[in-house]
Amino acid sequence: MNIENKIDQIPKKESALKVIVHSFFVVPFIIAIFAVLIFLVTRIMTAEPNTAQDYLEDVKIGGATKRWQGAFELSKILSNPKMVPKDDRFVTEMINTFEYAINDRDIRIRQFLAIAMGATGDKRYVETIIKALDQNDSEIIMACAFALGNLKDTRAVEYLLDLLESGDSLVRLQSVIALGKIDDSRSIMALEKMLADIEPNVRWDAAVALAKQKNSSGRRIILDLLDRKYLNSFSNIDKVEQVQAMMVAINVAPLIKDSDLKASLLDLRKSDSNLKIREAARRALLNFEE
């Protein structure tokens, strides 16, 4: 065979090799990718979202990370009334899981389970959460106080009043907030005492809690919360937190119907730099006229 014939055969051999590679490797690889994609899309489209029961099972039998994450997801999903199971079996399992978790090193599990129980609005959890207030861990106590506030059951009032004597300002704060949500006249005297608390947040929320009961004892503090100059004096409060504090004060101001509060709302409606604040002040003033 001469050199010219050999040269003519080289491209043919290379072409044949490309066909083999393409047929036996590339095409099957592409088909496999499409098959995987179709499987994933189908799985995503047909998969049902996890239920409260699913997350509770994660807490009960999951690993260390799975357990606290399951409790966290429960605290979110149960804030949606449509996702809250009403059957006795689920309630019993929640309570048993919460009580069993007292032996767990990861306190987040009990924290989030307490918050989850409170989020349901189901009064069947009240006694269980009250019992957990006798623990020494302030994080658990705060979570339980938060939950009791959301459950708004008057059985919790006397226990929350006891927490106002705590040396932990965050526990006092959460208790004050919870008492404000429950709205029971037995808390008025104690809340008035908290107006002089060393911690500003406790004083502020005590004034708000009293205003919700149409008590004007915290009037001066509500006026301060409507004053940007006053809030600017606290370097640890950013602009977002400042707006949040003002919004809360604006919303409770009409419950007192004080002339000075009305004047502050008029100023905010007219000249505050934040449109959200101006609109909230406008709505609050409408309530003043009722």
- Find all residues with CB under 8 Å of 260, minimum gap 6, and list them: 219, 223
Q: Are 149 and 179 in contact (CB under 8 A)?
A: yes
Rounded Cα distance between 174 and 180, Å, is: 10
Q: Take residue 136 and report the two structure tokens written for it.
A: 């020494």
Higher pLDDT, 61 or 13: 61
Q: Are 262 and 285 in contact (CB under 8 A)?
A: yes
Q: Answer whether residue 36 shows pLDDT above 90.
A: no
Q: Answer whether residue 149 shows pLDDT above 80.
A: yes
Instruction: Please give the pLDDT value at position 45.
Output: 47
Least confident of 37-51, 151-165, 247-261, 271-285: 37-51
Confidence band, pLDDT 50/70/90 cuts, at residue 34: low
- pTM, to two decimals: 0.80
Instruction: Please give the pLDDT value at position 288.
Output: 80
Rounded Cα distance between 62 and 60, Å, is: 6
Q: Domains in the chain, ordered, with CATH?
A: 50-148 (1.25.10.10), 214-290 (no CATH)
Instruction: Please give the pLDDT value at position 7.
Output: 47
Q: What is the DSSP letter of 121?
A: T
For 42-57, b/e burial (b = at least 16 CB within 10 A) is eeeeeeeeeebeebbb
Confidence band, pLDDT 50/70/90 cuts, at residue 48: low
